[in-house]
């Protein structure tokens, strides 16, 4: 499989002097184009730091990260920002929205750097809202929707530029199990349409939808579980495999 992101011997250290934390201690990782990879591990094991490093949101102390063959550290600030904005999408536990804008405007805002494209963006945002089941909420205030609906809006916003990869840091962490399930169905569908996903989660049911699960501990990838593409009705068995591996690894 052709790689979209390759990390080689990534080390990330926080702090200086005597108070240093090695958040990543020499990680090698490759994410394939269109692949869905989940990352699991105990709190503080380096999951978020890995996601930040692979997306270029934060630099690395040593080692390299390449995106479609280009080293992120050599892109320069503007090209790196453009790459992140146009080719990557980001979803967090709770999307940050501007309170004085309605849901539709919040979805469009980050993509609307070019005013001339506004009509096209409006159509794209409305199509995405339709696809994610929040078409009727365009004019709503962001404080007048449920957590699940807000996360759908966050996903729409992340998809506005049709990214090649979606980075998701515990996207279902703040949701009830029904909303979490719906968000995961949506992410699986987005992945089936060709977008790669790198997702951090604590939930075996969520990880079960990935092609592969990486397990982190003390800043290293200590284990990997290949699950393959999900087929019809095998989700429970995949979840069992993830739980067994979590127990084996001690997550
Ligand atoms: P996880 O996502 O698995 O919970 P993190 O990647 O957030 O773990 O953190 C890994 C380690 O790096 C932890 O020990 C954490 O305290 C430390 N760390 C993360 N971010 C920072 C930061 N900005 N400054 C200092 N230490 C940090």
pLDDT tens, 14-45? 998 778 999 999 999 999 999 999 999 999 99
Query: How many whole angstroms from 44 Cα to the centroid of ligand 1?
Result: 5
Angle between helices 177-192 and 147-159 (to 10 degrees): 20
Query: How many whole angstroms from 219 Cα to the centroid of ligand 1?
Result: 9
* Closest atom of ligand 1 relative to the 42 alpha carbon: 3
pLDDT at 200: 97
Running DSSP on this structure, what letter comes out for residue 45?
Answer: S
Ligand 1 binding pocket mutation candidate from 7, 46, 173 (most atoms within 8 A of CB)? 46
* Closest atom of ligand 1 relative to the 12 alpha carbon: 12
pLDDT at 113: 72
Kindly list the protein residues whose Cβ atom lies closer than 6 A to any atom of ligand 1.
Answer: 14-15, 21, 23, 41, 43-49
Query: Is the Cα torsion angle 67, 213, 47, 218 positive or negative in sign?
Result: negative
Question: Which domains occur in the chain, in start order?
Answer: 3-93+163-249 (3.40.50.300)
Closest CA to 151 of 211, 109, 91, 72: 91
Name the token pair of 151: 């996360």
> DSSP string of 119-161?
HHHHHHHHHHHHHTT-GGGTTSBGGGS-HHHHHHHHHHHHHTT
Ligand 1 binding pocket mutation candidate from 47, 48, 49 (most atoms within 8 A of CB)? 49
pLDDT at 114: 65
* Closest atom of ligand 1 relative to the 15 alpha carbon: 25
The torsion angles phi and psi of 53, rounded to 5 degrees, stand at -70, -45
End-to-end CA, the chain:
28
Query: How many whole angstroms from 59 Cα to the centroid of ligand 1?
Result: 14
> DSSP string of 60-95?
-SEEEEEETTEEGGGS-HHHHHHHHHHHEEEE-SS-
CA distance 197 to 176: 22
Rounded-to-10 torsion of CA 83, 86, 92, 95: 140
Summarised one tens digit per residue, pLDDT across range 51-105 is 999 999 999 999 999 999 999 999 999 999 999 999 999 999 999 999 999 999 9
């Amino acid at each position: 499989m052709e790689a979209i992101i390759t990390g080689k011997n990534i080390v990330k250290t926080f702090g200086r002097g005597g108070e240093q934390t090695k958040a990543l201690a020499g990680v090698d990782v490759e994410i394939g184009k269109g692949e869905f990879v989940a990352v699991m591990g105990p709190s503080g094991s380096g999951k978020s730091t890995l996601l930040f490093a692979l997306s270029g949101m934060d630099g690395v102390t040593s080692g390299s990260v390449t995106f479609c063959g280009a080293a992120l550290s050599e892109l320069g600030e503007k090209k790196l920002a453009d790459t992140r904005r146009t080719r990557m999408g980001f979803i967090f536990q709770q999307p940050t929205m501007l309170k004085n804008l309605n849901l539709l405007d919040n979805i469009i805002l980050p993509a609307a750097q070019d005013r001339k494209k506004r009509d096209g963006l409006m159509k794209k945002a409305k199509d995405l809202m339709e696809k994610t089941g929040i078409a009727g909420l365009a004019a709503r205030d962001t404080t007048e929707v449920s957590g699940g609906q807000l996360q759908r809006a966050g996903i729409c916003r992340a998809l506005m530029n049709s990214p090649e990869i979606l980075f998701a840091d515990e996207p279902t962490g703040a949701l009830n199990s029904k909303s979490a399930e719906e968000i995961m169905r949506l992410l699986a569908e987005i992945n089936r349409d060709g977008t790669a996903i790198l997702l951090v989660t604590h939930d075996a049911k969520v990880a079960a939808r990935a092609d592969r699960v990486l397990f982190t501990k003390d800043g290293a990838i200590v284990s990997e579980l290949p699950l393959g593409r999900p087929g019809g009705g095998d989700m429970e068995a995949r979840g069992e495999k993830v739980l067994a591996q979590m127990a084996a690894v001690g997550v």
